Chain A
């Protein structure tokens, strides 16, 4: 009797093993670091590097920073631990950030600030800069929101003082001026002694001019070069390899394209008037499609002009302010400065034989052209459009976690080429885009 059960049982077992072992497989490349050494990866940069998104820096955005994603992938190729100055769970909303709560009647998004669980612990002695919870342990992600290339050698840039300071750098430094409180950024970077680094710096040297509508100055080119030299010589002091990432065209981002000037001009024309702006020269003139209205502009809001109520900007007596518009001449200034700074970044990368990531070209490539999307990944269309484009977060300048993942993949591809490495890219669909209520 036993055999009757035994034989089919064995057969079934053999068949199962046979079938299971014959599952199809697609072999991938063998993961390798090539000639790079990811043992100690350090990321230097600004808000993009810190993981800033939705108008703030918060725990979730930090966890999805592109350096965190890079480090996770480097870990597959010998990379070591990667520490970030994370806000705690209790203070997970960090600086606070914007949340999408709906759409108004005209279809524009309604954004509301998140105000609970903040990491704000006080006010700076300048009476305007908030103080954030400190993080004094050594970190691998030295992304400091707001920092410019021209700030890297500034003594006291992170010291709470009446003339103003950077609170995101301040939280990484001791408060005592005699024990490192005055340390310039480049010294903080030097102390980390990386084997591999990424540097994405210089955006704010043009961006703060652009987002202020041309009121803040563009950084001085000579000072930019000095800061760059200081950074690169520091980072490569011990023969570290790395990647220098360049500055995207700021006028391609939703902060400048969402309130499209052509649409606003058409609206004004439909109301039998024109769109007026205050140009950088102080002159009030009609807007042209070559001017960019900022996302933060209150264009179209009904305002009293004499006895009448007109939409803001639709009267030469109520033009859009200089700070609401990046006018044609300012756009030209931004583009020229971006090209100039990128030339310096590229030269630095070449001189030190580092990977040079042309993020400017990448973000230009994601612009739709000829009515076709510039980027489709895994069945999802990406563009620089506000909210619907999936790449940019609710501030219109910084990226969504998905956008940061896509940027990380672009950096990995460049590193793989430069260092003959095989670091796998990440599945970007694991990272969120804009969340809808």
Chain B
């Protein structure tokens, strides 16, 4: 992966495999993961930078949060009946992360910076399964860098907006159905870095101590890959001119807009209940198209329809403060798939998914607290002919186990 961002970070951090609908990764705060990833209508601390910049102005202290999750995910595959072929992914550990810092400029005006990973996908089927001409492996990553300001208009109303600069990259590998004299197949690897811009804006309304409401809009970010590299290996000599060396590609991938409404209800000091509804603008993802700098196997581009449809996510979450130090959390969500019938692909073998989460928070000292979360994601088993997307027909079933930990510092 030649993505610049990896060099920038100098670590092995990559965004995780998509465990939300499509290739969205909803793992933005360890506290909120524990609460079913609600938070649009809550004061979520520094992570309001993501959930609702309008609520950021309610922060009483300066704070920095660092957190990360580990996605342990597996996808099982079975060929359409009566086919006997099966496969299972060997996905590497996904590690989406979040870093937030919020600083008071005045009592009413706050400034913050968030770096987080709301989209990504790492799926590795290998080069032996029957779908290898569709996909061997795909890694998609997007890291959002979001400077944000938030202003509390009144005690009851806060607004905020952040500018999003997204960097990332894509690496796609697949086998090519041409064989040399030994029967070995050719391979193609597309690798490029991408960037895009967008914004994240929110309004937070807190009519009473017991009730809060929020609305948040994270805009679409169009990630553009320019002059990515296409490399072909193991192409038979007589076909080498059809798969020319030095080919480059351009591509665009939309990271869709998300509109969320959230309600927080605090019946007692100790208990917080939250409900969120999000609409994700997946309809922006019409097709996956690669434009080549020179003809590849006789064509100047390849395009496969995706035709995703907008989808809703429904979330509930709760937090109970056992005492001043200890908080227990739980939550659940239902995440509709944006992938319509006939369009399933091995890169995102998506289905309606159910998430169950638990979490714990512990205030170690006045200035330091720890949040830990565990999320279990179970996608419905789904069979599809994949005849409209150029995908691999069959039945897919995904599960993921996602533990995470976050550290919060206030000053």
Q: Which residues in A have some Cβ–Cβ distance to B below 8 Å?
A: 19, 22-29, 73, 76, 102-103, 376, 378-380, 390, 412-413, 416, 422-430, 432-437
Partner of A432 from the list B72, B183, B237, B381 (CB cut-off 8 Å) is: B183
Is the Cβ of A435 less than 8 Å from the Cβ of B180?
yes
Is the Cβ of B75 less than 8 Å from the Cβ of A24?
yes
Across the interface, which residues of A come within 8 angstroms of B78, CB to CB?
26-28
Ordered by A's residue number, 11 sampled pairs between the chains whose C-beta atoms are within 8 Å are A19-B72, A24-B75, A28-B81, A29-B81, A102-B238, A378-B392, A379-B131, A379-B390, A416-B82, A423-B82, A425-B82
Is the Cβ of B84 less than 8 Å from the Cβ of A426?
yes
Is the Cβ of A436 less than 8 Å from the Cβ of B133?
no
Residues of B in contact with A, size category: 35 or more
**B367 on the A face (CB < 8 A):** no
Nearest opposing residue in chain B for A424, CB measure: B84
Across the interface, which residues of B come within 8 angstroms of A437, CB to CB?
180-181, 236-238
Across the interface, which residues of A come within 8 angstroms of B390, CB to CB?
379
* B146-179 residues at the A interface, CB under 8 angstroms: 177-179
Give the docked Cα–Cα distance between A22 and B134 (Å). Answer: 27
A236 CB to closest chain B CB (Å) equals 25
Given contacts A26-B78, A102-B238, A424-B84, contact A379 B133 (CB under 8 A): yes
Is the Cβ of A425 less than 8 Å from the Cβ of B84?
yes
Nearest opposing residue in chain A for B88, CB measure: A23
Partner of B399 from the list A24, A27, A103, A390 (CB cut-off 8 Å) is: A24
Give the docked Cα–Cα distance between A424 and B77 (Å). Answer: 15
In this complex, which of B78, B85, B134, B395 has the most chain A Cβ atoms within 10 angstroms of its Cβ? B85
Nearest opposing residue in chain B for A390, CB measure: B177
**B132 on the A face (CB < 8 A):** yes
* B229-252 residues at the A interface, CB under 8 angstroms: 236-239
Partner of B130 from the list A27, A413, A427 (CB cut-off 8 Å) is: A427
Across the interface, which residues of A come within 8 angstroms of B239, CB to CB?
436
Nearest opposing residue in chain B for A110, CB measure: B238
Give the docked Cα–Cα distance between A280 and B387 (Å). Answer: 45
Is the Cβ of B183 less than 8 Å from the Cβ of A425?
no
B103 CB to closest chain A CB (Å) equals 38
A41 CB to closest chain B CB (Å) equals 18
Is the Cβ of B133 less than 8 Å from the Cβ of A429?
yes
Is the Cβ of B180 less than 8 Å from the Cβ of A424?
no
B60 CB to closest chain A CB (Å) equals 37
Across the interface, which residues of B come within 8 angstroms of A424, CB to CB?
82-84
Give the docked Cα–Cα distance between A416 and B84 (Å). Answer: 14
Q: Lowest 9 A-B CB distances belong to which pairs? A: A424-B84, A436-B236, A379-B133, A26-B78, A379-B134, A427-B85, A24-B76, A24-B397, A427-B130
B53 CB to closest chain A CB (Å) equals 37
Partner of A103 from the list B183, B238, B401 (CB cut-off 8 Å) is: B238
Nearest opposing residue in chain A for B239, CB measure: A436
Across the interface, which residues of A come within 8 angstroms of B79, CB to CB?
425, 427
